[in-house]
Structure 1
Amino acid sequence: MREFTGRIEQTSISPLAFEVSGRIVEIAVRDGGAVKKGQLIARIDAEPYELQLRRADAQYTQLAEDLKRKAVLHDEGILSGASFDQLKAAVEMALAQRDLARRDLRNTRLVAPFDGRVARRNVESQQTVSAGMLAFNFENVGRLEVGVELPQSVIETLSASAALSGKAWLPERPEQPFDLVYRERSTLITPSASSYRLLFGVAQPVKLPLLPGMIVRVRLDLGPQHNDSPGFAVPVGSLSVAPDGHRRLWRYDRPSGQVHAVPVDVRAISGGDAVVAGALNVGDQVVAGGVQFVAEGLHVRSMDANPQ
């Protein structure tokens, strides 16, 4: 088992927009407000669309009645087939226009597509919006993920089909861990950290105030080769990246006054400290800062920076 730092992430953030244009007359939710599927979020002034539907309905009714009358004349041979077919096409067109008007009226109401939370409101009451204009950002709060960055040295030992498992907890609530379900891992390295990103789903509903962006501690079962073992706490600034992509420290050799690279495995990072494992010994002195200027065999002066 190994511990890492993770972050709560949102799996689904959907942009919500009205499908018709108009003036917003009601906003029924607040930023951060939870809503149920189908619940009203906002609505546009419906009066113009009600009038449009009434006109379309009247037009359809008139043409449909005319079609009934002309059907008798058509059956008696008084009205030509071409004229009758033209009238039927007009009725079908009027019916389609009525259906579109009814749909537009329905779309003056913007409702939640699923259970979730309004992440951001981008419009104000009485504002005139156009169709398709972003009005709200909507979160699917039921599907949270945990993102974890694993060092390259760890990723290299894991097979692509490895079935990972683990638990996570809020740092302030270690007594309430929740299970994680492995979903995917990135094949692209994070250049700034020489790490790879893994995503885990939250296995079951958790009665914790989990929100996107929260930091969590993650404990993963990576196999026996990665069981926790004693490590050394060193300043984060003492770490650098070797040409092969591995992390390293610069160990000071007192007799020669030179520094030499020591490959290390970063086990955890917390604040300004990192816990590392490698060919180190208690009492070793390492370069604590300015590592970008250090090279193999460089002569330096000791400042007594010891790994702990």
Structure 2
Amino acid sequence: MSGKLIPVLALAALISSCSQPPVKEQGPRPVKLAEVVSLNRVEKSFSGVVSPDQFSDLAFKMSGPLISLNVEEGQKIRTGQVVAEIDPQDFKWEFEAKKASYQTAEAQLQRAEKLLSKQAISKQEYESTEAAYSNAKAAFEYAQNQLTQTKLRAPFDGFIQKKYVENYQKVQAGQGIVCLINPNKLQIQYTMPESSINYFSNPYSLYVEFDNYKGIRFKAKVKEYVEASPDGSGVPVFLYIDDPEFNLDKYKVAVGFSCRVILHVETGSFNEGAVMIPISSIVAGEGNNNMYVFVYNSQSQKVERRQIKEEELLGKDRVVVTEGLQAGEKIVTAGATRLVDGQQVKVLTD
């Protein structure tokens, strides 16, 4: 870190030379904001994408020609809904044959039980009839199950992301028919360079900011990651959003949406609570030691005038502040000199 300690008087003179006394105004005043950055925190940003946390390639357990595939990509379906069906005729014949054999074996077992009670047959003959019944029952239940599985049903609510086959095509056992995705169970996927994976050994926090909701960050946690890069391109990391403010009914996020993953790593290089702010955000008040900034409240869209204690200049336009601010707060960087405490403002994006 390269820096230079700035006497309070010098900094006051520097700022007050380009500031004006605040002027009370009516109505929101346009301002630009910056985030207060912790000097005990390294911030890294990665490109991410929304991927499904629950998905399934649905397939039949037997081969046969498709006779029904009445879903389209993007279509919503419910649990138990029939997605596709293969020709059941051969399985119906097999089912009827096994059913007849089962019914015959059942009748024979009932007759054998009566004969055994009258000691008209031996115990060995009865056990042989009982074994034949058990085999016939198992074959019948298997045929029944096979017939039921000629219809492919959705195991959970979701939507069809992709169709792998077309109707009337002959499919093989285990061949993917459609990909079903649960839109309510999402995860974030991004790739981290191998050189950065050691950040996870320090105290850290993760946030996700979606491209279609700029400026809104949601807390996230690591779900899993691979210890080493499988192909040399980086380490795949999967996150889940655990922020109570994140609601899919309010924030329309879906599979394939782009986002930014922000990683904050605590380093402990400066005194606890030290933050960095742009010098343009500081306004000089009356007296040499009276420096303050305007902190933005996103709920009320108003600003709060807050006194700070500056410590050190970083580079040409950044100042170390040791009292009055917390990392993550938003402060005014343009338009501050004409604000008053409690004034409503309008935030300019650029």
Q: Is the 8 A contact 1:115 1:142 kept in 2?
A: no
State how 1:184-195 maps to structure 2 within 5 Å: 184-189=224-229
Match of 2:261 in 1: 218
Q: Which runs of 5+ in 2 are unaligned?
A: 1-36, 38-42, 270-274, 279-314, 318-350
Structure 1 Cα separation of the partners of residues 267 and 81 of structure 2: 50
Residue from 186, 190, 203 that aligns with 1:162? 203
Q: Please state how far the C-alpha of 1:61 moved relative to its aligned partner.
A: 1.4
State how 1:36-47 maps to structure 2 within 5 Å: 36-47=78-89
Residue from 132, 142, 147 that aligns with 2:189? 147
SS in structure 2 opposite 1:164?
strand
Q: Please state how far the C-alpha of 1:215 moved relative to its aligned partner.
A: 2.0
Match of 1:206 in 2: 248
SS in structure 2 opposite 1:20?
coil
* Deviating 4+ runs (over 6 angstroms): 190-193, 224-230
The amino acid across from 2:264 in the alignment is D
Structure 1 Cα separation of the partners of residues 74 and 150 of structure 2: 22
SS in structure 2 opposite 1:56?
helix
Q: Please state how far the C-alpha of 1:154 moved relative to its aligned partner.
A: 4.9
Residue from 182, 189, 193 that aligns with 2:222? 182
Structure 2 Cα separation of the partners of residues 229 and 190 of structure 1: 40
State how 1:51-62 maps to structure 2 within 5 Å: 51-62=93-104
Q: Is the 8 A contact 2:188 2:238 kept in 1?
A: yes
Larger Rg: 2
| Change over 3 Å in CA distance of 1:151–1:20 after alignment to 2 | closer
- Considering only aligned residues, what root-mean-square deviation do their CA atoms show, in Å? 3.4
The amino acid across from 1:223 in the alignment is E
SS in structure 2 opposite 1:52?
helix
Count residues with an aligned counterpart: 231
Moved more, 97-106 or 111-120: 111-120
Q: Please state how far the C-alpha of 1:33 moved relative to its aligned partner.
A: 1.9
TM-score, length basis structure 2: 0.56
Q: Please state how far the C-alpha of 1:68 moved relative to its aligned partner.
A: 2.1
Q: Which runs of 5+ in 1 are unaligned?
A: 231-279, 283-308
Map Cα deviations across residues 172-191 of structure 1 (whole Å, 9 max, x no partner): 43155544233234432588
Moved more, 93-102 or 109-118: 109-118
SS in structure 2 opposite 1:65?
helix
The amino acid across from 2:238 in the alignment is L
Match of 1:113 in 2: 155
SS in structure 1 opposite 2:131?
helix
Q: Please state how far the C-alpha of 1:98 moved relative to its aligned partner.
A: 1.2
Map Cα deviations across residues 220-279 of structure 1 (whole Å, 9 max, x no partner): 33336698889xxxxxxxxxxxxxxxxxxxxxxxxxxxxxxxxxxxxxxxxxxxxxxxxx
Q: Is the 8 A contact 2:158 2:181 kept in 1?
A: yes
SS in structure 2 opposite 1:125?
coil
Structure 1 Cα separation of the partners of residues 140 and 239 of structure 2: 48
Q: Please state how far the C-alpha of 1:41 moved relative to its aligned partner.
A: 0.9
Match of 1:70 in 2: 112
Counting aligned pairs with the same residue, the percent is 23
Q: Is the 8 A contact 2:203 2:266 kept in 1?
A: no
Q: Does 1:99 align with 2:141?
A: yes
TM-score, length basis structure 1: 0.63
Structure 1 Cα separation of the partners of residues 131 and 195 of structure 2: 71
Match of 2:348 in 1: none
Structure 2 Cα separation of the partners of residues 34 and 228 of structure 1: 49
Q: Please state how far the C-alpha of 1:104 moved relative to its aligned partner.
A: 0.8
Q: Is the 8 A contact 1:143 1:202 kept in 2?
A: no
The amino acid across from 2:241 in the alignment is V
Match of 1:88 in 2: 130
Q: Please state how far the C-alpha of 1:127 moved relative to its aligned partner.
A: 1.9
Match of 1:173 in 2: 213
Structure 1 Cα separation of the partners of residues 227 and 221 of structure 2: 19
| Change over 3 Å in CA distance of 1:225–1:191 after alignment to 2 | farther
Q: Please state how far the C-alpha of 1:107 moved relative to its aligned partner.
A: 0.6
Structure 2 Cα separation of the partners of residues 191 and 131 of structure 1: 32
Q: Does 1:9 align with 2:48?
A: no
Structure 1 Cα separation of the partners of residues 231 and 141 of structure 2: 54
SS in structure 2 opposite 1:54?
helix
Q: Please state how far the C-alpha of 1:56 moved relative to its aligned partner.
A: 1.7
Q: Please state how far the C-alpha of 1:110 moved relative to its aligned partner.
A: 0.7
Q: Please state how far the C-alpha of 1:151 moved relative to its aligned partner.
A: 5.2
